[in-house]
């Protein structure tokens, strides 16, 4: 019960229910526009039948030669719409576009080491951890997480769509 | 900048890089006509496809520009069409070129041509991978009347591609129900339609079963189908709708989205409503797992939505609030192991309770309900730090209670950033001048105003660069969107509402001088002519009020009002008129002093009546409706004051030549350079400000709306003292202060005694003295009253009263000490604002009383 549609610039006026959540960062206008001006087809929105935004994904394509791949920069779903398979669908679209339009060899992403829910989801979709990056993320003030708070797992999946 | 590149490119037409930069310079400035011409030139010279597409896009953007007349628009689209069709390489080589091509065909209503492109193998392939091309395909098919085909395509996608996009389900339904309406001229075909509906029902039922809990689209689609069937009078089973709703609830009730999903189907007739209500009431009130708790929460939300007027009594609502609180505290036990970054499963029960308490407050005007609500939500936040919904509600309630510093703390805690300043700052800054302590040097709210405006600067500086980037990457689908975004943000209503609030605060803090008046005048005039876009987010705050009542956001409006275009217009008229009168600048002077810096005139400037005329226009009913009664009195005062003093200002204002001469002298002194564009030789140096051709206007008595204003509002202030919340008192007090400051602006010119003598305005000045001293006396009284109040609002007694009033929450288990702490914070916050505003009024009074 969601509409999957392209992310557009004016969505920045409508994403508060997603972005006020602590896990979702609100970047400057330039961040979103830089992605939309280069890889708009890797950015999509899940929208409720009521018109409310439920979640979105922002991605890009990068790398050279056999390292050419799709990358998930940000994927987020509003708290009230979690556990509906929305992220999975957005990832599916991104993988398809990365594979068929960009001809990427794989898709990768970073995830906070402490975000076990997200890690489970990605692993369920066929992603596996291939490295740990120190202090990739900003501190979100958890306090006791230690290294897990700011470190990231790089995870990738082969585009076996 | 643009001219510079254009010149350079003219000199070197074979320099491709220069050509591109010239194109980009024009694109950044939105000069689409020039951009189109340059792109065409570049294509001729360098034969690169993308320049052709740049020229097409530029023609389209020029067509879309609001300043382009309708006839021209079509011509430009036709031009774009000609160019794109002449492209040696077909547009389908890139998704974005294809999208551009289709959008041109759509605009020109060449649907058959568009369909041909889309129906090709390439077209189909593109639409299966590109969401944006598929979007435009849908639109074109619909415009072409291909509703049934869309339905068929959607069925294939759902079955073969396992697509569960809600749009596909809607397409099938639209196709089915098109048989029952003759929107395309052909007679409705009931039989066929019934068959289709039957088939679809089977299809959706099957998919719902197969998908099970993994995907609810089909289950929801069945509901939508039944609803439409009912609307068309073809529903076979009158019980089916509620049965489906029950099924849906059974399937999806353990997810938070269930409530929102079912909302469109809640308009039920008596029998249905009874069945539905009993079903929901049967949801167990006890729970041992989060899904069970979620079901209970959903049942409460759904039941609440359909409450009737009879069911909304004080007793019933009190019972509900109590129940929600009890269940909330019980529900917290399920969340003991949750991380501090996670929301509590029970959070929505606290919000339901808060919503109910707000209803009770609305019924009774008794503050105790708000005290209970804030205490409960503060408690909820200790257990669920990330619950921004709790914070949003607290911000609203604290402002209603006259505890704005607490609202500010919560606003800051939410970490509003970047573009959210435009959409969310209204929570903090709406009518913020009511609470501003700038008059005593506390610039907290002033600073918040300024910080919230950073985003507009970023927009001006950055967005245009990304339009260029989109051209470089040939992402044509994005360019119109970027332009719309830039425009909407630049002309944001909130931006200018905040500007107005900032001005109102500023005047209580900074010395009122002619420099301030001049600067503000120029800015305000520009704002006045803007077409504003309202980007404010009012939907963000959750609403669990019954359908028959207003939503929570409306119920918690400060002073019962939510300002909009009309409010802004009213205040702009007040201030522009006052500043215009107080200023020596007129249009010709402004033009000469602001060469190059003048903001670009908005579209339609020439067709409007002159500014003076528009300022003098009375406010429309819609505009007045956005003002509180006291604001109306203030606006009327300002209007009467301006009308009274206009002739004297106009007579005494020095002629433009003199103003410019003075400005030129100052500029030369300061910078060592003469003022550009001002030819001093032409100015008539001999005209003296004191010698005029006509006789000065005779002095008349002040109108009653001016002379009696302060007395009248003093009476209104006295009335507000009966309220327990200080908000009304602060509102009236700050308006009286504002009127006094406005009066100062309007009478500043007449401080020059030589001027007064020469024009025989002695009686006028005497009138001013009377009004000023009356106003000062009223302000001093109010100041004293507020300061006195502040001294008794935060005492052990008042804190105890607060705690006692919170019996509803404390009886259910919220700790008394915790409540006392909230009491202390609320009463201290009240003390701070009441005392601060009071002292500030005293200061303003002494600054300008003479």
Per-residue pLDDT reduced to its tens digit, B394-411: 999 999 999 999 999 999
Give the pLDDT of residue A134. 83
Helix axes B314-332, B290-305, angle to 10 degrees: 160
Q: What percent of chain B has pLDDT over 70?
A: 95
Q: Is residue B726 scored above 80 in pLDDT?
A: yes
Interface contact A37-B473, CB threshold 8 A: yes
Choose, out of A26, A37, A92, the residue to mutate when testing the contact with B (most B CBs < 10 Å): A37
Interface contact B458-A41, CB threshold 8 A: no
Per-residue pLDDT reduced to its tens digit, B408-426: 999 999 999 999 999 999 9
For the segment B736-755, the average pLDDT, to the nearest whole number, is: 94
Q: What is the spatial distance between Cα B390 and Cα A23, in angstroms, rounded to a whole number?
A: 17
DSSP state, residue B93: G
Find out whether A49 and A3 touch, Cβ atoms under 8 Å: yes
User: Is residue B167 within 8 angstroms of chain A, CB to CB?
Assistant: yes
Secondary structure E strands in B162-249: none
Distance of CA B633 to the CA centre of its chain: 26
Q: Is residue A158 scored above 60 in pLDDT?
A: no
Chain B residue numbers touching A5 (CB-CB < 8 A): 131, 135, 167
Chain B residue numbers touching A2 (CB-CB < 8 A): 165-166, 217
For the segment B612-623, the average pLDDT, to the nearest whole number, is: 87
Helix segments in chain A, DSSP class H? 16-19, 29-36, 86-100, 116-124, 147-150
- Distance (Å) of CA B740 to CA B567, B734, B749, B846: 20, 10, 15, 12
Return phi, psi of residue A72, to 5°.
-90, 110
Long-range CB contact pairs, A145-149, < 8 A, 24+: A145/A114, A147/A113, A148/A112, A148/A113, A148/A114, A149/A112, A149/A113, A149/A114
Count of C-beta atoms within a 10 Å radius of residue B506: 18
The pTM for the full model equals: 0.94
Per-residue pLDDT reduced to its tens digit, B504-561: 999 999 999 999 999 999 999 999 989 999 999 999 999 999 999 999 999 999 999 9
Q: What is the spatial distance between Cα B59 and Cα B57, in angstroms, rounded to a whole number?
A: 5
Distance of CA B692 to the CA centre of its chain: 49
User: Is residue B532 within 8 angstroms of chain A, CB to CB?
Assistant: no
Distance of CA B452 to the CA centre of its chain: 13
Per-residue pLDDT reduced to its tens digit, B56-102: 999 999 999 999 999 999 999 999 999 999 999 999 999 999 999 99
Interface contact B485-A12, CB threshold 8 A: yes
Q: What is the spatial distance between Cα B131 and Cα B125, in angstroms, rounded to a whole number?
A: 12
- Distance (Å) of CA A93 to CA A61, A89, B361, B462: 14, 6, 48, 29
Interface contact A29-B462, CB threshold 8 A: yes
What distance in Å separates residue B475's CA from the closest CA in chain A? 6
Q: Is residue B792 scored above 70 in pLDDT?
A: yes
Enter the tokens of residue B322. Answer: 């109590």
Chain A residue whose CA is closest to B456: A29
Neighbour-count burial for B580-605, b at 16+ CB within 10 Å, e otherwise = bbbbbbeeebbebbeeeeeeeeeeee
Q: What is the spatial distance between Cα B397 and Cα B406, in angstroms, rounded to a whole number?
A: 10
Chain B residue numbers touching A22 (CB-CB < 8 A): 341, 386
Dihedral of alpha carbons B295, B296, B301, B306, sign: positive
Return phi, psi of residue A38, to 5°.
-120, -40
> Can you tell me the ipTM of this complex?
0.93
What part of B 324-383 touches A (C-beta under 8 Å)?
A: 339-341, 343
Interface contact A37-B388, CB threshold 8 A: no
Chain A residue whose CA is closest to B291: A83
User: Is residue B423 within 8 angstroms of chain A, CB to CB?
Assistant: yes
Give the pLDDT of residue B609. 83
Q: What is the spatial distance between Cα A43 and Cα A65, in angstroms, rounded to a whole number?
A: 23
Return phi, psi of residue B539, to 5°.
-85, -15
Interface contact A22-B386, CB threshold 8 A: yes
Residue pairs between chains A and B whose CB atoms are closer than 8 Å: 152
Q: What percent of chain A has pLDDT over 70?
A: 89
Q: Which element (helix H / strand E) includes B118?
A: helix B111-119
- Distance (Å) of CA B669 to CA B659, B672, B675: 15, 6, 10
Neighbour-count burial for B175-209, b at 16+ CB within 10 Å, e otherwise = bbbbbbeeeeeeeeeeeebbebbeebbebbeebbe
**Closest C-alpha to B318, from B343, B288, B283, B353:** B353
Dihedral of alpha carbons B716, B722, B727, B730, sign: positive
Q: What is the spatial distance between Cα B172 and Cα B200, in angstroms, rounded to a whole number?
A: 8
Interface contact A1-B217, CB threshold 8 A: yes
Choose, out of A4, A5, A13, the residue to mutate when testing the contact with B (most B CBs < 10 Å): A13
Find out whether B345 and B334 touch, Cβ atoms under 8 Å: yes
Q: What is the spatial distance between Cα B501 and Cα B429, in angstroms, rounded to a whole number?
A: 8
Task: Decide the pairing of beta strands A106-112 and A69-77.
Answer: parallel
- Judged by average pLDDT, the poorest of B4-18, B293-307, B537-551 is B4-18
Per-residue pLDDT reduced to its tens digit, B239-257: 999 999 999 999 999 999 9
Neighbour-count burial for A58-89, b at 16+ CB within 10 Å, e otherwise = bbbbeeeeeeebbbbbbbbbbbbbbebbbbeb
User: What helix, strand, coil percent values describe chain B, rounded to 5?
Assistant: 75, 0, 25
Secondary structure E strands in B235-279: none
Chain A residue whose CA is closest to B208: A1
Choose, out of A3, A5, A9, the residue to mutate when testing the contact with B (most B CBs < 10 Å): A9
3-state secondary structure of B662: helix
Give the pLDDT of residue B672. 76
What distance in Å separates residue A139's CA from the closest CA in chain B? 12
Three-class HEC string of B508-534? HHCCCCHHHHHHHHHHHHHHHCCCCEC
What pLDDT band is residue A159 in, cutting at 50, 70 and 90? very low
Q: Which element (helix H / strand E) includes B497?
A: helix B493-509
| Greater pLDDT, B525 or B688 | B525
Q: Is residue A45 scored above 50 in pLDDT?
A: yes
Average pLDDT score over chain B: 92
User: Is residue B135 within 8 angstroms of chain A, CB to CB?
Assistant: yes
- Judged by average pLDDT, the poorest of A129-133, B441-445, B483-487, B796-800 is A129-133
What pLDDT band is residue B760 in, cutting at 50, 70 and 90? confident
Chain A residue whose CA is closest to B423: A13
Chain B residue numbers touching A49 (CB-CB < 8 A): 166, 220, 261, 264
Give the pLDDT of residue B586. 76
Q: What is the spatial distance between Cα B822 and Cα B764, in angstroms, rounded to a whole number?
A: 53
């Amino acid at each position: 019960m969601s509409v999957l549609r392209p992310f557009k610039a004016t969505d920045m006026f409508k994403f508060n229910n997603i972005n006020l959540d602590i896990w979702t960062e609100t970047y400057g206008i330039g961040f979103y526009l830089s992605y939309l001006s280069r890889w708009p087809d890797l950015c999509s929105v899940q929208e409720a039948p009521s018109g409310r935004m439920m979640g979105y994904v922002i991605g890009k394509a990068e790398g050279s030669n056999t390292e050419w791949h799709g990358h998930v920069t940000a994927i987020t779903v509003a708290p009230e719409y979690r556990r509906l398979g929305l992220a999975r669908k957005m990832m599916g679209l991104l993988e398809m576009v990365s594979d068929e339009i960009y001809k990427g060899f794989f898709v990768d992403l970073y995830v906070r080491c402490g975000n076990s829910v997200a890690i489970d989801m990605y692993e369920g979709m066929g992603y596996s951890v291939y490295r740990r990056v120190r202090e990739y993320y900003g501190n979100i003030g958890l306090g006791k997480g230690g290294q897990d708070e700011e470190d990231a797992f790089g995870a990738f999946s082969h585009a076996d769509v | 900048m643009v001219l510079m590149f254009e010149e350079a490119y003219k000199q070197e037409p074979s320099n491709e890089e220069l050509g591109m930069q010239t194109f980009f310079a024009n694109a950044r400035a939105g000069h689409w006509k020039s951009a189109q011409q340059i792109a065409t030139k570049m294509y001729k010279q360098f034969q690169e496809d993308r320049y052709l597409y740049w020229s097409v896009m530029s023609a389209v953007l020029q067509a879309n520009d609001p300043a382009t007349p309708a006839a021209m628009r079509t011509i430009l689209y036709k031009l774009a069409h000609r160019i794109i069709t002449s492209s040696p390489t077909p547009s389908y080589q890139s998704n974005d070129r294809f999208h551009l091509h289709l959008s041109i065909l759509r605009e020109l209503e060449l649907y058959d041509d568009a369909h041909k492109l889309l129906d090709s193998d390439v077209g189909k392939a593109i639409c299966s991978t590109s969401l944006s091309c598929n979007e435009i395909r849908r639109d074109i098919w619909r415009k072409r009347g291909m509703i049934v085909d869309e339905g068929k395509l959607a069925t294939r996608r759902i079955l073969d591609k396992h697509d569960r996009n809600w749009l596909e389900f809607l397409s099938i339904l639209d196709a089915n129900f098109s048989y029952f309406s003759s929107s395309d001229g052909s007679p409705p075909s009931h039989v066929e339609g019934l068959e289709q509906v039957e088939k679809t029902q089977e299809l959706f039922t099957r998919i719902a079963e197969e998908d099970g809990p993994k995907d609810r689209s089909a289950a929801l689609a069945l509901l939508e189908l039944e609803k439409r069937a009912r609307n068309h009078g073809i529903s076979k089973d009158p019980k089916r709708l509620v049965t489906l709703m029950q099924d849906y609830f059974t399937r999806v009730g353990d997810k938070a989205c269930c409530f929102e999903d079912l909302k469109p189907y809640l308009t039920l007739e008596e029998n249905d409503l009874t069945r539905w209500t009993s079903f929901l009431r049967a949801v167990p009130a006890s729970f041992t797992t989060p899904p069970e708790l979620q079901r209970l929460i959903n049942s409460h939300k759904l039941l609440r939505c359909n409450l009737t007027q009879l069911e909304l009594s004080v007793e019933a609502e009190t019972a509900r609030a109590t129940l929600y609180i009890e269940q909330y505290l019980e529900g917290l036990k399920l969340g003991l192991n949750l991380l501090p970054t996670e929301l509590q499963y029970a959070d929505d029960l606290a919000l339901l309770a808060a919503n109910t308490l707000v209803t009770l407050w609305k019924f009774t005007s008794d503050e105790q309900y708000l005290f209970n609500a804030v205490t409960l939500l503060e408690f909820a936040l200790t257990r669920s730090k990330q619950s921004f919904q709790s914070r949003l509600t607290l911000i609203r309630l604290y402002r209603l209670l006259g505890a704005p510093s607490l609202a500010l703390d919560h606003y800051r805690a939410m970490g509003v950033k970047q573009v959210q300043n435009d959409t969310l700052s209204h929570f903090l800054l709406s009518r913020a001048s009511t609470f501003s302590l700038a008059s005593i040097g506390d610039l907290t709210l002033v600073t918040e105003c300024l910080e919230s405006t950073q985003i507009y600067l970023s927009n001006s500086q950055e967005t245009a660069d990304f339009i260029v980037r989109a051209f470089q990457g040939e992402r044509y689908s994005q360019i119109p969107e970027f332009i719309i975004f830039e425009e909407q943000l630049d002309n944001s209503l909130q931006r200018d509402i905040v500007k107005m609030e900032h001005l109102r605060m500023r005047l209580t803090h900074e010395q009122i001088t002619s420099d301030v008046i001049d600067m503000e005048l120029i800015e305000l005039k520009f704002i006045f002519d803007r077409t504003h876009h309202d980007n404010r987010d009012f939907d963000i705050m959750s609403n669990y009020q019954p359908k028959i009542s207003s939503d929570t956001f409306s119920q918690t409006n400060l002073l019962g009002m939510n300002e909009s275009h009309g409010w802004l217009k009213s205040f702009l008229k007040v201030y522009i008129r006052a500043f215009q009168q107080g200023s020596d600048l007129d249009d010709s002077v402004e033009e000469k002093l602001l060469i190059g810096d003048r903001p670009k005139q908005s579209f339609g400037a020439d067709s409007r009546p002159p500014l003076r005329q528009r300022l003098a226009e009375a406010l429309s009913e819609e505009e007045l409706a956005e003002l509180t009664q006291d604001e109306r009195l203030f606006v009327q005062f300002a209007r009467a004051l301006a009308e009274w003093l206009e002739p004297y200002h106009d007579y005494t204002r020095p002629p433009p030549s003199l103003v410019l001469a003075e400005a030129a002298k100052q500029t030369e002194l300061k910078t060592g350079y003469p003022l550009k564009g001002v030819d001093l030789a032409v100015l008539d140096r001999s005209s003296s400000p004191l010698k005029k051709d006509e006789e000065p206007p005779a002095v008349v008595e002040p109108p009653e709306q001016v002379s009696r204003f302060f007395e009248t509002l003093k009476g209104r202030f006295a009335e507000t003292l009966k309220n327990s919340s200080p908000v009304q008192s602060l509102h009236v007090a700050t308006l009286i202060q504002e009127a006094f400051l406005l009066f100062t602006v309007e009478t500043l010119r007449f401080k020059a005694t030589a001027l007064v003598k020469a024009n025989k305005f002695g009686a006028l000045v005497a009138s001013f003295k009377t009004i000023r001293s009356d106003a000062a006396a009223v302000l001093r009284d109010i100041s004293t009253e507020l300061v006195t109040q502040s001294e008794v609002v935060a005492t052990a007694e008042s804190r105890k009263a607060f705690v006692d009033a919170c019996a509803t929450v404390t009886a259910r288990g919220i700790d008394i000490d915790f409540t006392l702490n909230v009491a202390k914070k609320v009463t201290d916050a009240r003390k701070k604002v009441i005392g601060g505003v009071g002292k500030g009024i005293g200061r303003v009074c002494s600054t300008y009383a003479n």
